[in-house]
A and B are shown apart, each in its own frame.
Chain A
Amino acid sequence: MSAWFRLKIADLPFNELARRLRDGTLLLDLHPFVVRIRAPQAAVATALGKLYAHFPVQEADAFADFHIALRPGRGLRRWIRPQVSFEFDGKQAFKPLPEDQAYPMFEWGLNWCIAAHAHQFLILHAAVIERGGRAIIMPAPPGSGKSTLCAGLVSRGWRLLSDELALVHMETGLVHGMARPINLKNRSIEVIRRFQPGAAMSDPVNDTVKGTVALLGPPAESVSRVREAALPAHIVFPRYLADAPAAFVPADKTHSAMRVADEAFNYGIHGRRGFEALTALIDRCTCHEFAYGSLEEAIEAFEQLPGIPQ
């Protein structure tokens, strides 16, 4: 195979994608990680084919950082209210879920694999977008409107690094992302459908622990530039407030640092190095609270952030 040609998910006929998933020979390149996936469920093949179309795949014998399997239920659970289990390195990691939640379970389980093991990074529960090499990190608890805002900004030309996991390199301080699909929940699914008609989105799955969920495919350009890390420039704590005008309010660095630490999955594991990485991140960023009630206004406000090339 030519060095310049990298096989992508979109290059695989559906039957071949489904076969690789059944056999556990699909190696998805989510720079900086490679994930081996075994998942016989047709819904997983459909979702991966649609949302990961632009991602490269590796040869079946290549090295994989994470070995994931979505196992169908055994015994009666194959037939009566069928279930799916998430396995990591051959061990069941979570309680089984209903089979129709197999694809969201893949996304959630993969997030856990990364957050629990990739300690070369300080890993934040945060969305990250970029323009002109400058990253905006948006840490926020669930329900704050982070993913909706991230989806809106990305649909208007910001590069997606991540919707869920900001990977801050412990040595360089640069932020990496995998440009994976954006998790939308409940009302935000319809909001983004209207905001970005025609966007690649998975079928909504109802009655999950997070309510109804759907995933939005990343732009091809974000995926093609996934190896480009970015320098953090701003930390924005977003909050959706119905009818609120979009406005940034300066946030002091000490409180911001504590909030970022609260949203970090592995700050406690890193000890002294974690503190140094955290304070270095806060030192190089301007911190803001950001309330918004309209996506259009929010996007306009982000265009005005200082230090971000137009």
Chain B
Amino acid sequence: MLAYILEPSGRFLLHVWEEEALVFDTCSGDTHMLDPVATALVGRLGESGLDLPALQRWLDETFVLPDQQAASTLAEAALLNLRAIGLVRLVPLEDR
């Protein structure tokens, strides 16, 4: 089983405004914008690493979404983007 965790090295600076955020990667110098779903997931992962179903459940309970499929799609897309910028890592559940 795999879990998503936040990159723990202090490589990223995060600044949140309301539901969205800006992330600065101190390694690459790149700045990224996080949409509300990605910002919420980063906030949730700040507490602990979670697997995809748990994150989808949490997203579904937290946000008013049209249907179950939407939570799953939004979470997967956001996590994909967060992994692409390096802010989130996928690790074996027992390693988190």
Q: Does B57 contact A (CB under 8 A)?
A: no
Decide if A254 touches B33 in the complex (CB within 8 Å).
yes
A258 nearest CB neighbor, chain B only: B33
Q: Does A261 contact B (CB under 8 A)?
A: yes
**How far is it, in angstroms, between the C-alpha of A271 and the C-alpha of B33 when the chains are bound?**
16
Closest CB-CB distance, B36 to chain A, in whole Å?
A: 10
Task: Mark each residue of chain B from 29 to 60: 1 if its CB lies under 8 Å from any CB of chain A, else 0.
Answer: 10101100000000000000000000000000
**How far is it, in angstroms, between the C-alpha of A175 and the C-alpha of B17 when the chains are bound?**
22
**How far is it, in angstroms, between the C-alpha of A276 and the C-alpha of B13 when the chains are bound?**
9
Chain A residues near B26: list those with CB within 8 A: 271-272
Interface size on B, residues (CB 8 A): 13
A-B pairs under 8 A by CB, number:
37
B34 nearest CB neighbor, chain A only: A254
Interface centre among B13, B22, B34 (most CB of A within 10 A): B22
**How far is it, in angstroms, between the C-alpha of A252 and the C-alpha of B36 when the chains are bound?**
12
Question: Which residues of B (1-28) have their CB < 8 Å from a CB of A?
Answer: 13, 15, 17-18, 20-22, 24, 26
Q: Does A157 contact B (CB under 8 A)?
A: no
Q: Does A143 contact B (CB under 8 A)?
A: no
- Which residue in B17, B18, B21, B29 is a CB contact (below 8 Å) of A271? B29
Chain B residues near A253: list those with CB within 8 A: 17-18, 20
Given known pairs A275-B13, A279-B15, the reply for A257 and B22 (CB within 8 Å) is yes
Closest CB-CB distance, A195 to chain B, in whole Å?
A: 37
Chain B residues near A261: list those with CB within 8 A: 31
Decide if B29 touches A252 in the complex (CB within 8 Å).
no
Q: Does A255 contact B (CB under 8 A)?
A: yes
Chain B residues near A279: list those with CB within 8 A: 15, 22
A253 nearest CB neighbor, chain B only: B17
Chain B residues near A255: list those with CB within 8 A: 20, 33
Given known pairs A272-B24, A275-B24, the reply for A252 and B17 (CB within 8 Å) is yes
Chain A residues near B20: list those with CB within 8 A: 252-255
**How far is it, in angstroms, between the C-alpha of A255 and the C-alpha of B17 when the chains are bound?**
10
Decide if B31 touches A254 in the complex (CB within 8 Å).
no
Decide if A268 touches B22 in the complex (CB within 8 Å).
no
Q: Does A213 contact B (CB under 8 A)?
A: no
Closest CB-CB distance, A171 to chain B, in whole Å?
A: 18
Chain B residues near A252: list those with CB within 8 A: 17-18, 20
Decide if B17 touches A268 in the complex (CB within 8 Å).
no
Question: Which residues of A (251-310) have their CB < 8 Å from a CB of B?
Answer: 252-255, 257-258, 261, 267-268, 271-272, 275-276, 279, 282
Question: Which residues of B (56-78) have their CB < 8 Å from a CB of A?
Answer: none
Given known pairs A258-B33, A268-B29, A271-B26, the reply for A282 and B13 (CB within 8 Å) is no
A residues with CB within 8 A of B: 252-255, 257-258, 261, 267-268, 271-272, 275-276, 279, 282
List 11 additional contacts besides A252-B20, A254-B17, A275-B13; criterion CB under 8 Å: A252-B17, A253-B20, A254-B33, A255-B20, A255-B33, A257-B15, A267-B31, A271-B29, A276-B13, A279-B15, A282-B17
Could you list 15 examples of A-B contacts with CB < 8 Å?
A252-B20, A253-B18, A253-B20, A254-B17, A254-B22, A254-B34, A255-B33, A257-B15, A257-B17, A261-B31, A268-B29, A272-B13, A275-B13, A275-B15, A282-B17
